Amino acid sequence: MIDRDALQAAVGSGLVTEAQAAGLLSLANARATALDQARSGEEPFELFKGFNEVFIVVGLAILTFGWMAIWALVAGTSGDFRTTWLIAGVATAGIIVLLSEYFIRRRRMVAPAIALACGWTATAFGFWSLAFNSITVFHGLKVPESILPLALTTVTIGLFWWRFRVPFAMALMAGTAFICLMFTLVATSGQQAGFAEMFLLSASGPFAWGTLLFGLFLFAVAMWFDMSDPHRVTLRSVNGFWLHVIAAPAIVNTIALTLISAGGAVALVVLSVFLLAIAFVAVVIDRRSFLISAVGYLVALLSTFAEGWQVAASIFLLGAGLVGLGAGWQAVRRRLMGVVPDPLRDCLPPSH
């Protein structure tokens, strides 16, 4: 174990530079903090490291507003709206790359990384939409021309993630891929369907099964990241975190909406069993993000598509259950891990 005194001696002897020694100390402290969180049963989560990151994000937002205002004026005077904004898209992408090289790869900042990933996604979608004349995507769901821009946007976000390894980009990539999937299903089926009908298992068409299978696929990818880093000390587990946030609503949406639409006591019982199964999986894999995303989306569905005393009571019980489970998460998890087979248990976060 190399301590601070040993590093200072290494700097004095010229073996390492002062900057390298500081970097090693920072890495060691970060790993120690992550290991302490894993031992205490906490799920690592970080949106920003300090207020300076918030300060920079505010600056980036103002910079974006001014930048877009300049290009809006240029587009208004040029007479060629489409070409001007395509050039603006390329210029914006270049600036985002330069800022990302500094704030993400060099400074390792969290909040600016999220902001830049969002900016990259918006720029990519706007550019590809204009390039393929599919900006009419905003006028309704059934716009086949938007499928290719959405697919290219997903690939473009993937390139951003590959270069800068921003975990939040995983959520953005999964979200655009999901929208692209739904547009594809709408275009290929030739059906006009409302939101509820698209996700009912009892309805005709591929929409419900498509979103359910997509959610299961995202869950599998998230578990691949999680099981490669069970102690959650690297960015792989953070990638898993954000994929769980997207996967849970996709899985819950179809089944929960089908049961809510069915109504009756039997459907309510089946929905309760389904939620218990979701909670069991979340506790075993030690992902509060998976459970809170699933329950939060379920509450939104109940508030939108159901009414009456049963809905109010269900939401109240869901809240009480989350509070109670959060208070005793580790104790519950230690008990449940006893039924998990040894090979799988070794790939999951430790329960002690």
Q: Kindly report, residue by residue over 305-319, the tens digit of the pLDDT.
A: 666 676 777 788 888
The per-residue pLDDT for range 61-73, each reduced to its tens digit, is 999 999 999 888 8
Range with lowest mean pLDDT among 1-15, 94-108, 256-270, 307-321: 1-15
Asked whether 328 and 351 are in contact (CB, 8 A), the reply is: no
Least reliable range by pLDDT among 37-41, 54-58, 233-237:
37-41
Look at residue 228 in the predicted model and tell me its pLDDT.
87
Residue 138's pLDDT band (boundaries 50, 70, 90)? very low
Question: What local confidence, expressed as pLDDT, does residue 201 receive?
Answer: 58
Least confident segment among 175-184, 220-229, 278-287, 292-301: 292-301
CA distance 345 to 341: 6
The pLDDT of residue 237 is above 90: no
Task: Provide the mean pLDDT of the chain.
Answer: 81
CA distance 3 to 267: 60
Mean pLDDT confidence for 119-127: 93
Contact between 241 and 45 (Cβ < 8 Å):
yes
109-118, 180-189, 314-323, 331-340: segment of lowest average pLDDT: 180-189
The letter for the amino acid at 272 is S
CB-based burial label for 315 (10 Å; 0-12, 13-18, 19+): middle
* Residue 209 vs residue 227, higher pLDDT: 227
Encoding tokens for residue 314? 């269900």
Q: Which amino acid, residue 265?
A: A
Q: Average pLDDT, stretch 260-278?
A: 80
Cβ distance 226 to 242 under 8 Å? Answer: no
* pLDDT of the residue at 190: 62
**225, 236 in Cβ contact below 8 A?**
yes
Output the pLDDT for position 99: 95
- What pLDDT is attached to residue 116? 96
Q: Which of left, alpha, beta for 140 (phi over 0: left; psi -120 to 50: alpha)?
A: left
Which one is predicted more confidently, 23 or 90? 90
In the three-class reduction of DSSP (H, G, I as helix; E, B as strand; rest coil), residue 82 is classed as helix
Above 90 in pLDDT, residue 188? Answer: no
| Distance, CA of 99 to CA of 84 (rounded, Å) | 22
Is pLDDT of 30 > 70? no
- CB atoms inside a 10 Å sphere around CB 23: 12
Backbone conformation region of residue 304, classed left if phi is above 0, alpha if psi is from -120 to 50, else beta: alpha
State the SS3 of 83-105: HHHHHHHHHHHHHHHHHHHHHHH
pLDDT digits (tens, 9 = 90+) for 214-226: 999 999 999 999 8
| Residue 128 pLDDT exceeds 50 | yes
Per-residue pLDDT band for 202 (boundaries 50, 70, 90) equals: low
Q: Residue 200 CA to chain centroid, in angstroms?
A: 24
Residues 6+ apart with CB under 8 A from 137: 129, 143, 145, 146, 149, 150
Task: Kindly state the percentage of the chain with pLDDT values over 90.
Answer: 24
> Of residues 352 and 349, which shows the higher confidence score?
349
> What's the confidence (pLDDT) of residue 90?
93
In the chain, % of residues over pLDDT 70: 83
pLDDT of 137 over the 70 cut: no
Average pLDDT over residues 169-177: 93
Burial 106-144 (b: 16+ CB within 10 A, else e): eeebbbbbbbbbebbbbbbbbbbbbeeebbebeeebebe
Is residue 197's pLDDT more than 80? no
Q: What is the DSSP letter of 106?
A: I
More confident: 40 or 149: 149
The pLDDT of residue 61: 94
CA dist., res. 329 & res. 322, Å (int): 10
Domain-wise residue ranges, the chain: 1-40, 45-180, 193-352
How are the residues of the chain apportioned to helix, strand and coil, as percentages rounded to the nearest 5? 80, 0, 20
